[in-house]
């Protein structure tokens, strides 16, 4: 991955095909008292959509073609499952996504606009992971 467009496309596809992005289609079952947790997950979904838009626009500016990727087929089994179940999966998949995004950031030239965009997206992804961890820890403590 030495081409900037390829690297940005990799980040875009990670976000666009992530479990976080898929949640808006899965309609998780939200238990009484979990509305705030679901709102925080929805914030992550919206943030990733914004990141995909920013990356897509930048790829087009660079003369590239946007390659959005596709959701893994296994995600279709996550329809109508509980938010608790999805949150535990999010902890794993979000960390995996962060690892890929970190590799992409490291592949970009330092002190460039593209690296700054990628670093901001990485920071947001980490913040969402922290939020998911806090939700799970809070729910575990309440149980």
Q: What is the pTM of this model?
A: 0.91
> How many folded domains does the chain comprise?
1
In tens, the pLDDT along 17-49 reads: 999 999 999 989 999 999 999 999 999 999 999
In tens, the pLDDT along 88-142 reads: 999 999 999 999 999 999 999 999 999 999 999 999 999 999 999 999 998 654 4
User: From CA 69, how far away is CA 8, in angstroms rounded?
Assistant: 12
For residues 78 and 89, the answer to whether their CB atoms sit within 8 Å is yes
Give residue 131's domain range.
Answer: 4-142
pLDDT at res. 139? 62
pLDDT at res. 143? 44
For residues 35 and 137, the answer to whether their CB atoms sit within 8 Å is no
Q: Which residues pair with 82 in a beta bridge?
A: 29
Is the pLDDT assigned to residue 60 strictly greater than 50? yes
CATH number at residue 83: 1.20.1260.10
For residues 128 and 40, the answer to whether their CB atoms sit within 8 Å is no
């Amino acid at each position: 991955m030495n081409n900037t467009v390829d690297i940005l496309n990799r980040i875009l596809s990670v976000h666009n095909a992530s479990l976080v992005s898929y949640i808006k289609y899965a309609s998780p079952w939200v238990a009484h008292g979990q509305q705030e947790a679901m709102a925080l997950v929805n914030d992550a979904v919206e943030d990733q959509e914004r990141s995909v838009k920013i990356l897509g626009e930048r790829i087009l500016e660079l003369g590239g073609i946007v390659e959005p990727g596709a959701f893994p087929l296994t995600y279709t089994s996550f329809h109508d499952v509980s938010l608790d179940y999805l949150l535990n999966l999010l902890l794993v998949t979000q960390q995996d996504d962060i690892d890929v995004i970190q590799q992409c950031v490291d592949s970009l030239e330092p002190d460039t606009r593209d690296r700054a965009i990628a670093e901001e997206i990485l920071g947001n992804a980490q913040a969402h992971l922290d939020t998911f961890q806090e939700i799970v820890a809070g729910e575990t403590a309440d149980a």
